[in-house]
């Protein structure tokens, strides 16, 4: 159980039982066991590169203007623009592309 907490993100751990996590992790470990360290790194990067928050800088903010959003938010800034993220669920609430953001100067 302690090792599971080190391997699986906290917000994901409840999605499966500990035994199911163990089986899933072991199956993937066996599948990947023939890969070199460099192959494993490349495979990992190919997966996370597709995530919408890949390469983001994150900032925690408190917002007071929109009652539909939580008081505390995460802002993610990356090549796609600026995203507002719920810090508890990690859901992306909205994304504002840089092309749609007015120039402030």
Q: Tell me what pLDDT residue 102 has.
A: 77
pLDDT bucket at 4, cuts 50 / 70 / 90: confident
Residue pLDDT, tens place only, 63-103: 999 999 999 999 999 998 999 999 999 999 999 998 888 77
Average pLDDT, stretch 41-51? 92
pLDDT bucket at 1, cuts 50 / 70 / 90: low
Residue 88: name the closest of 24, 32, 10 by CA.
Answer: 10
Mean pLDDT rounded to a whole number for the chain = 90
Does the model's pTM come out above 0.75? no
């Amino acid at each position: 159980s302690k090792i599971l907490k080190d391997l699986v993100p906290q917000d994901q751990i409840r999605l499966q039982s500990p035994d199911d996590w163990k089986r899933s992790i072991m199956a993937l470990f066996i599948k990947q066991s023939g890969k070199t360290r460099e192959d494993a790194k490349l495979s990992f990067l190919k997966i996370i590169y597709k995530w919408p928050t890949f390469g983001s800088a994150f900032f925690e903010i408190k917002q007071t203007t929109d009652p539909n959003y939580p008081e505390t938010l995460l802002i993610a800034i990356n090549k796609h623009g600026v995203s507002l993220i719920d810090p508890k669920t990690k859901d992306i609430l909205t994304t504002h592309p840089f092309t749609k953001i007015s120039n402030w100067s």
